[in-house]
């Protein structure tokens, strides 16, 4: 069935100005399209304009997750008042805004934040055909003394539903928010409702896993919805022979906070875990003969902060090295054991440590680093080797890992791991763009192999491109050269063993604003898909 836009009316027929932060609305109609249509939808067509300055108790922001929000006096804020977001027990807990009326519109988001050094992020969540995507709109590094401003634009897809813009951060610190707004850029479009997507018949598309079968596995990041949906899953099965769970194998998804804190003594050295949510994706992979990249065990992000506190109470006393080593060992052991007992042989590789280098090319001072010390990476790999079933490949995975100074930092801390025999591969995430030299990237790839003696996987490929004349072809050319170069590396004897794209369609990507993937929403191929096919042929 065609995806129907039941009511779409361009706001050029109407000039509407409405909705101040305290809900007052007035409208002025200068020209009417059709009286009948107008009378039905005039109410909904009021241009959404969210603007919170937190001067009064009547603000629009709502709490997200377990976080709480309240208006507070704050001398650092404009006009002396702000929204305090507190009681955050997971990094995505924050404040949120219902943005359903922004469907199909270009939006601008502005805000200013104060927090103890956290990177505060404004993100957007929406469903496309039942699949929830989480996108970052803009991020700002904060400090405790003054407000840091952030400003970003985003195009909300026409077929997005359950649209929410929210404030989150990479720590659990309180976030003070001031002057937050979400506004339409340019002309407002009102789209009342969306129907089903009319998916293309993908059965005759050339198959990437077959085309690249002599060189490497072709993989894709999935969600439970992709695994469960017949159109998406049929396409994925035909095209790919490796999958990565985009979010569900991360510590945040596996660690069970409620159970752990229900008996702190019992779980002191081995936090409680839950795995049932993984079954849809793992069953899908097993039943369709795919392998799985396990992503990820030890990471600074999407790992709840409570894990690092002695009694699992954030803000209390941090756990010491000995206790954290026990928790790390037990976590890795339990994940390996559960996976092997329930899905023997399915997980071919694990991203044991993810993103341990920071953006200043030093070891990231994460809570793993702070509690255990510099050798936490070696320890993690040693535990992974101890408990991984034989043949499971152990990877270090990072973004911007092709950049020479970041690469030097990474090589520095991976050499001892390789010498101990605990490193099998380097995962180059590859969230790249069309301006990055393919030659530079391949030189870095060769260096990881030659200096560490390990295999390489491209683990999270997406290629951002700026929209403009010929943007899709430009992106296609880049994808084509990138894949050809990887094949050349293989032919030269550099073991590139898999290439994973980070998602299925552009609107479902974590970077939807950059249109970085291979497929359109209805699974028609973008020039990028065609170029990847051509590069293999």
Q: Which residues are catalytic, by number?
A: 355, 460
Q: Least separation, in Å, of the C-beta of 460 and ligand G3I?
A: 5
Q: Which is nearer to ligand G3I, 407 or 429 (CB)?
A: 429
**Gap between the Cα atoms of 82 and 52, Å rounded:** 9
Q: Least separation, in Å, of the C-beta of 271 and ligand G3I?
A: 17
The residue among 265, 301, 389 whose CA lies nearest residue 90 is 301
Non-local CB neighbours of 28 within 8 Å, separated by 6+ positions: 15, 16, 17
**Gap between the Cα atoms of 57 and 22, Å rounded:** 9
Q: Interaction with ligand G3I in 369-408: which residues (CB under 6 A)?
A: 399
Q: Which is nearer to ligand G3I, 92 or 190 (CB)?
A: 92
Q: Least separation, in Å, of the C-beta of 223 and ligand G3I?
A: 8
**Gap between the Cα atoms of 59 and 416, Å rounded:** 54
Q: Which is nearer to ligand G3I, 47 or 278 (CB)?
A: 278
Binding test (CB under 6 A) with ligand G3I, winner from 123, 239, 400, 498: 123
Terminus-to-terminus CA distance in the chain, angstroms? Answer: 34
Q: Least separation, in Å, of the C-beta of 408 and ligand G3I?
A: 20
Name the segment binding ligand G3I (CB under 6 A); options: 17-25, 244-252, 282-290, 484-492: 244-252
Binding test (CB under 6 A) with ligand G3I, winner from 13, 51, 108, 134: 134
Binding test (CB under 6 A) with ligand G3I, winner from 119, 151, 181, 247: 247
Give me the 251-290 binding string for ligand G3I, x by CB under 6 A, dash otherwise: -x--------------------------------------
Q: How many CB atoms lie within 10 A of CB 155?
A: 17
Q: Which is nearer to ligand G3I, 164 or 194 (CB)?
A: 164
> Is 139 a binder of ligand G3I (CB under 6 A)?
no
To which residue do tokens 């007992």 refer?
341
The residue among 224, 220, 223 whose CA lies nearest residue 237 is 220
Say if residues 356 and 413 touch (Cβ distance below 8 Å): yes
**Gap between the Cα atoms of 382 and 374, Å rounded:** 14
Peptide bond connecting 221 to the previous residue in cis, omega within 30 degrees of 0? no
> Is 168 a binder of ligand G3I (CB under 6 A)?
yes
The residue among 332, 330, 339, 345 whose CA lies nearest residue 384 is 332
User: SS3 letters for 106-159?
Assistant: EEEEEEEEECCCCEEEEEEEEEECCEEEEEEEEEEECCCCCCEEEEEEEECCCC
Q: Least separation, in Å, of the C-beta of 329 and ligand G3I?
A: 23
User: SS3 letters for 285-311?
Assistant: HHHCCCEEEEEEEEECCCCCHHHHECC
Give me the 421-460 binding string for ligand G3I, x by CB under 6 A, dash otherwise: --------x------------------------------x
Q: Least separation, in Å, of the C-beta of 351 and ligand G3I?
A: 8
CA 425 to chain centre: 22
Q: Which is nearer to ligand G3I, 256 or 473 (CB)?
A: 256
- DSSP class per residue in 457-506: EEEEEEEE---STTHHHHHHHHHHHHHHHHHHHHHHT--EEEEEES-SBG
Q: Which is nearer to ligand G3I, 190 or 368 (CB)?
A: 368
> Is 349 a binder of ligand G3I (CB under 6 A)?
no
Name the segment binding ligand G3I (CB under 6 A); options: 6-14, 192-200, 245-253, 255-263: 245-253
Number of amino acids touching ligand G3I (CB under 6 A): 14
Q: Least separation, in Å, of the C-beta of 41 and ligand G3I?
A: 30
Q: Which is nearer to ligand G3I, 134 or 387 (CB)?
A: 134
Name the segment binding ligand G3I (CB under 6 A); options: 173-181, 246-254, 436-444, 445-453: 246-254
> Is 184 a binder of ligand G3I (CB under 6 A)?
no
Q: Which is nearer to ligand G3I, 248 or 339 (CB)?
A: 248
**Gap between the Cα atoms of 242 and 291, Å rounded:** 5
The residue among 62, 71, 56 whose CA lies nearest residue 22 is 56
Q: Are strands 242-245 and 496-501 parallel, antiparallel or unpaired?
A: unpaired
Binding test (CB under 6 A) with ligand G3I, winner from 510, 517, 523, 527: 510
> Is 92 a binder of ligand G3I (CB under 6 A)?
yes
Q: Are strands 8-10 and 189-191 parallel, antiparallel or unpaired?
A: antiparallel
> Is 306 a binder of ligand G3I (CB under 6 A)?
no
Q: Least separation, in Å, of the C-beta of 92 and ligand G3I?
A: 3
Q: Least separation, in Å, of the C-beta of 248 and ligand G3I?
A: 7
Say if residues 30 and 167 touch (Cβ distance below 8 Å): no
> Is 246 a binder of ligand G3I (CB under 6 A)?
yes
Helices (H), 290-366: 321-342
Q: Which is nearer to ligand G3I, 169 or 184 (CB)?
A: 169
Per this entry, what is the length of the chain?
A: 537
Q: Least separation, in Å, of the C-beta of 497 and ligand G3I?
A: 19
**Gap between the Cα atoms of 238 and 495, Å rounded:** 24
Q: Which is nearer to ligand G3I, 46 or 377 (CB)?
A: 377
Q: Interaction with ligand G3I in 286-305: which residues (CB under 6 A)?
A: 301-302
Say if residues 425 and 456 touch (Cβ distance below 8 Å): yes
**Gap between the Cα atoms of 369 and 373, Å rounded:** 5
Q: Which residues bind ligand G3I (CB under 6 A)?
A: 65, 92, 123, 134, 168, 246-247, 252, 301-302, 399, 429, 460, 510
């Amino acid at each position: 069935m065609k995806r129907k836009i039941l009511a779409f009316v361009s706001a050029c027929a109407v000039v509407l100005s409405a909705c101040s932060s305290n809900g007052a609305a007035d409208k002025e109609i200068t020209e009417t399209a059709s009286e009948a249509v107008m009378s039905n939808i005039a109410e909904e067509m009021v241009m959404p304009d969210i603007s919170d300055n937190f001067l009064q108790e009547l603000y629009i922001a709502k709490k997200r997750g377990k976080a709480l929000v309240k208006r507070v006096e704050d001398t650092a804020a404009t006009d002396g008042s702000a929204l305090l977001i507190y009681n955050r027990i997971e990094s995505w807990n924050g404040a949120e805004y219902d943005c359903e009326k922004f469907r199909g519109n270009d939006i601008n988001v502005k805000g200013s934040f104060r927090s103890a050094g956290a990177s505060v992020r404004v993100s957007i969540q929406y469903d496309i055909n039942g699949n929830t995507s989480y996108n970052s709109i803009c991020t700002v590094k904060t400090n405790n003394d003054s407000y840091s401003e952030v400003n970003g634009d985003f195009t909300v897809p026409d077929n997005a539903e359950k649209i929410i813009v929210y404030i989150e951060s990479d720590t659990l610190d309180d976030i003070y928010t001031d002057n937050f707004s979400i506004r339409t850029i340019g002309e407002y479009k009102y789209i009342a409702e969306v129907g089903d997507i009319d998916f293309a018949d993908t059965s005759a598309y050339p198959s990437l896993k077959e085309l690249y079968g002599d060189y490497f596995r072709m993989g894709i990041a999935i969600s439970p919805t992709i695994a469960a949906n017949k159109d998406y899953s049929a396409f994925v099965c035909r095209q790919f022979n490796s999958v990565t769970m985009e979010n569900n194998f991360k510590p945040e998804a596996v660690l069970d906070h409620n159970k752990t804190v229900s008996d702190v003594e019992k779980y002191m050295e081995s936090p409680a875990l839950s795995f049932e949510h993984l079954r849809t994706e793992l069953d899908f992979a097993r039943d369709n003969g795919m392998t799985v990249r396990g992503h990820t065990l030890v990471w600074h992000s999407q790992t709840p902060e409570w894990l690092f506190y002695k009694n699992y109470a954030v803000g209390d006393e941090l756990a010491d090295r000995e206790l954290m080593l026990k928790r790390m060992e037990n976590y890795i052991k339990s994940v390996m054991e559960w996976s092997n007992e329930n899905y023997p042989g399915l997980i071919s590789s694990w991203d044991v440590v993810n993103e341990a280098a920071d953006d200043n090319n030093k070891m990231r001072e994460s809570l793993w680093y702070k509690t255990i010390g510099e050798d936490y990476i070696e320890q993690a790999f040693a535990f992974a080797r101890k408990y991984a079933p034989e043949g499971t490949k152990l990877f270090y995975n990072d973004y911007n890992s092709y950049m020479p100074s970041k690469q030097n930092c990474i090589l520095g801390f991976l050499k001892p791991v390789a010498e101990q025999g605990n490193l099998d591969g380097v995962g180059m995430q590859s969230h790249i763009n069309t301006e990055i030299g393919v030659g530079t990237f391949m030189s870095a790839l060769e260096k990881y192999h030659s200096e560490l003696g390990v295999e390489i996987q491209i683990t999270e490929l997406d290629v951002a491109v700026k929209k403009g004349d010929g943007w899709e072809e430009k992106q296609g050319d880049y994808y084509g050269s990138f894949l050809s170069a990887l094949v050349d590396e293989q032919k030269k004897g550099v073991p590139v063993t898999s290439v994973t794209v980070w998602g299925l369609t552009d609107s479902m990507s974590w970077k939807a604003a950059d249109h970085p993937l291979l497929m359109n929403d209805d699974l028609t191929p973008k020039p990028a898909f065609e170029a990847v096919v051509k590069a293999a042929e």
